[in-house]
Structure 1
């Protein structure tokens, strides 16, 4: 049975569990995997009878993301993308946050669902290996739940039994140490890794998904402990990194997956994010699979930009030149205009960003309409637009059919390479089976040991402690470029203790002067920048192609203009006047909402939260 068939069947499944004790809020499966189901009480004695019952219950626990990965770099706040929307960390950095203003995230309803299953599933009439498979799935989902809680709060209560009305010892428990909780969730991962089925229906979790998610967490926790001195857990970091490398290598050595490549370096990478069928793609470990008019996909027009989210210049500048050299080594690279900064770059840049000469088919909210791409500039936007994950077609059925890759073999390769470099154990052989495989796909030169050090990247991460510092910097770059706009950058910055990177003013494209500018690369001007003192004329100029120039009045924050520019007559597009301050270590965590502290005085705030 496919994931779509499960979804249709699950519409009629009524699994929901009582939790409302002490304002613990119920979290049911959302439309990120299965449609939300009605809630009712379930009698364990009457339900857990067959393997079919176990399947139905388990599928109600799926809560993987979907097309939201393509805008998560902006909504979670990173140096990849920015948002005009209400982003939690952006608000924190520009206000004086407290436990009375940061109130989301402390929800535990889904945990009871995992624990309820684990307490009763063995009533089912099924063979031992099948029971172990289902136990592994439930423990996998519980581990993922706790990973999110660890990331947000660090120390949290570990609960592995279903809460009942008389569970006062649990309901009024304090926070357990991070190390204790991580040890428990690692036990869950290990059990799942050894017992979940190797194969599964399309869209369902199998053993490889468990291993990929486990390796992702091990790298996260190992580097987080290494770089966050406030935890006093650095001595255990290497053990986790060794395990991350080992689990990733198991996936690599299995021969089950490989990078998708048809020998088209200018297309293969981008096609992963605009495919109607990823089910047989050798790179996809796990994805969201859609079918028009049954389970509709479509990433939405907002992915492209000019809604709330948009890419930043900092990401554009991270891509290497086509010859493998640093873009930042170009003379006066910071003053390159749009056409020049897209010249002779890593092909992944052109498969992630709209580039000079790109053609827009699906205009949607883009006022300038379809055709040859010319930036639609606006206040608080960068002027860059995203095409990775943007379905550039007017056919709604085609868009609804697009699958979303959630765990790619490419990430596994990067996990292995980074863990090895953090441990100062990276070899040329390691690079050749990881980073250089990624570069081969897009026709980029190979990375070697002892690469030159990019001073821009070195300044961004001054706390690197590995003996293979230059290698690690380049692996971090490779990870950023390969996984850009897939929702992983925020966690990367947090685990690397790089929150201060977010204090850098986000910027957009550069204009060397006012007046006319070519944005398509054909040498013909497309837009006209006017100073704030001038009005846009009624009789607009037409270029040699017969196109009316787009006019914009530019100025600084506070002026009534179309675009904010860094200087009076030249500069980068400015996005926000005050990006704020990242308070470390406090902002690497969130407070427990004050209401919960009042309900349970045994819960204490940590890391200077009040």
Structure 2
């Protein structure tokens, strides 16, 4: 079995496979696969598993999800994410259709595999059961994306024909979520633990991944008791799931040198000479080789990082917005490139990035429509110094990691009224210590902090720890906090009007009656009226 990074072979391969019923009296072609001969090969079946992994997630999905949030600004064009955030989306928006089509394409792969794998000879029973569990995990993950974007969706658990797909109505979200939970639980029992995988198989789905994703699924339902149950299980029973721990170096988490480290529970694999992603070609500083900047962090993200003493910038009277990058959460420097940041160049040397107007470098802020940054910042997390000249990167994208499990545990215990010094020390304190905090004001349990302030602290900790990892938008949606974070003017650095005011960018709009769910794509409604009524606010 090849590493799941080897999935590039499947694209051209699948073009020639005909997954349709054939008349058994017909002569079988010798130069292409058919439904009759494809499933005679264990290697072919593994290629289908690889294809399903390929359809599950990607770097592009992560970055596009992040662009839906209040962390970043897409400034070069009117992208689908920007249209959504500015309140101008309608059912014909391309992102609504592409997300739907990609998920159902992946589901078809899963269903075809599950419908046919028992026909394949010469696969050990244990391997077959493991592959089935992997596919069931991927299928649950795809349905999870669908319901979080669209709410009620067409739901089925075996392959269906095109004509059948045009007659299905939408199934309520609760029913689909019940299935998702069932599948994650089933996969958890059948998948191997992290310690039982090695070599090329170490990127496969494990018991720990199923447990962590189950916790995330319950998190998005605000089912705090179940979140606590599954995160406690993963934290306290590593004999069952494998050994996970916080990687000692926060910035080092997101480098090729440290792939598959102790914190990674599940990632999406890339390989520099075979399968790559290239977001940083349009996101890195121009001085290190990017062609332009189309995707940059917002001032609102920068402002969310606390000071080294544990206070927010609004709480500490000594905070100086004209010298705003000193004494800040170390994760800021690991996530965002600001004026004066150090960055490694591809040749291994270090360079200082100068962005402030008047600096006279290619990275200098000019205006929101220039080739350089529109916000006065550049992204740093996932910057790959080993990428080639056009920033084709083989760096894996982490889908879920142990710090997220700790943060879920902290939030659930708080919402259940169980937050205390012990929980704090195991979760928030551990995460902050790893980040580089040493001040007691940041590390010690804030006993007596009012409920609203503690909730805000825990939520902001998620933002700081997980920024630019594609999760922020989903957190805002589950908190029903759209008006707080996704409405109003968004800003860049204090570089406007001779460095006296913050850059003013888009004015975003969030409609509480509409924007927690996406529209069913117009193209799908045109083919199947049973998908109506559409989600509120989008018409029919």
The answer to which of 318-327 and 298-307 deviates more is 298-307
* Residues 61 and 42 of structure 1, relative CA distance in 2, 3 Å threshold: farther
2:513 counterpart residue number: 585
* Residue pair 1:172, 1:602 contacting (<8 A) in 2 also: yes
Written as runs of structure 1 = structure 2, the 5 A alignment for 1:77-88 is 78-84=69-75, 85-88=77-80
RMSD: 3.4
C-alpha distance after superposition, 1:499-525 (max 9, x if no partner): 1121131112225x96xxxxxxxxxxx
1:99 counterpart residue number: 91
Matching of residue 598 in structure 1 with residue 526 in structure 2? yes
* Residues 250 and 60 of structure 1, relative CA distance in 2, 3 Å threshold: farther
Matching of residue 483 in structure 1 with residue 466 in structure 2? yes
Matching of residue 111 in structure 1 with residue 41 in structure 2? no
2:433 counterpart residue number: 440
Matching of residue 187 in structure 1 with residue 187 in structure 2? no
* Residues 419 and 252 of structure 1, relative CA distance in 2, 3 Å threshold: farther
Of 559, 565, 572, the match for 2:502: 572
Of 46, 50, 54, the match for 2:45: 54
Matching of residue 310 in structure 1 with residue 296 in structure 2? yes
1:378 counterpart residue number: 366
Distance 1:41 1:239 in 2: 52
C-alpha distance after superposition, 1:245-279 (max 9, x if no partner): 44544666755111111xxxxxx211212233413
Written as runs of structure 1 = structure 2, the 5 A alignment for 1:91-170 is 91-92=83-84, 94=86, 97-101=89-93, 103-104=96-97, 105-107=99-101, 108-125=104-121, 126-164=123-161, 167=164
The answer to which of 51-60 and 471-480 deviates more is 51-60
Distance 1:112 1:10 in 2: 15
1:75 counterpart residue number: 67
Matching of residue 272 in structure 1 with residue 244 in structure 2? no
The answer to which of 99-108 and 6-15 deviates more is 6-15
The answer to which of 403-412 and 284-293 deviates more is 284-293
* Residue pair 2:91, 2:520 contacting (<8 A) in 1 also: yes
* Residues 396 and 214 of structure 1, relative CA distance in 2, 3 Å threshold: farther
Of 533, 537, 540, the match for 1:608: 537
Matching of residue 257 in structure 1 with residue 237 in structure 2? no
1:208 counterpart residue number: 208
**How much does 1:585 deviate?**
2.9
Distance 1:423 1:175 in 2: 33
Distance 1:297 1:98 in 2: 29
Distance 1:270 1:239 in 2: 32
**How much does 1:46 deviate?**
2.8
1:555 counterpart residue number: none
SS at match of 1:431: helix
Distance 1:415 1:257 in 2: 15
**How much does 1:53 deviate?**
3.9
* Residues 362 and 56 of structure 1, relative CA distance in 2, 3 Å threshold: same
**How much does 1:160 deviate?**
1.0
2:317 counterpart residue number: 331
What are structure 2's unaligned runs of at least 5 residues?
A: 21-30, 286-291, 356-363, 369-373
Distance 1:249 1:75 in 2: 31
* Residue pair 1:54, 1:134 contacting (<8 A) in 2 also: no
SS at match of 2:257: coil
1:319 counterpart residue number: 305
Distance 1:69 1:505 in 2: 25
1:510 counterpart residue number: 494
What are structure 1's unaligned runs of at least 5 residues?
A: 21-39, 224-236, 262-267, 365-369, 454-467, 515-528, 530-564
1:29 counterpart residue number: none
Structure having the higher Rg: 1
SS at match of 2:378: coil
**How much does 1:186 deviate?**
1.6
SS at match of 2:535: coil
* Residues 12 and 388 of structure 1, relative CA distance in 2, 3 Å threshold: same
The answer to which of 494-503 and 355-364 deviates more is 355-364
* Residues 94 and 436 of structure 1, relative CA distance in 2, 3 Å threshold: closer
Of 393, 396, 399, the match for 1:406: 399
**How much does 1:116 deviate?**
1.6
* Residues 91 and 355 of structure 1, relative CA distance in 2, 3 Å threshold: closer
- TM-score normalised to structure 1 length: 0.72
Written as runs of structure 1 = structure 2, the 5 A alignment for 1:467-546 is 468-500=451-483, 501-510=485-494, 529=498
Distance 1:11 1:98 in 2: 32
Distance 1:386 1:46 in 2: 49
2:371 counterpart residue number: none
C-alpha distance after superposition, 1:534-562 (max 9, x if no partner): xxxxxxxxxxxxxxxxxxxxxxxxxxxxx
1:35 counterpart residue number: none
- TM-score normalised to structure 2 length: 0.80
Matching of residue 426 in structure 1 with residue 419 in structure 2? yes
Distance 2:32 2:105 in 1: 14
C-alpha distance after superposition, 1:283-317 (max 9, x if no partner): 12223444443444665332336511111111111
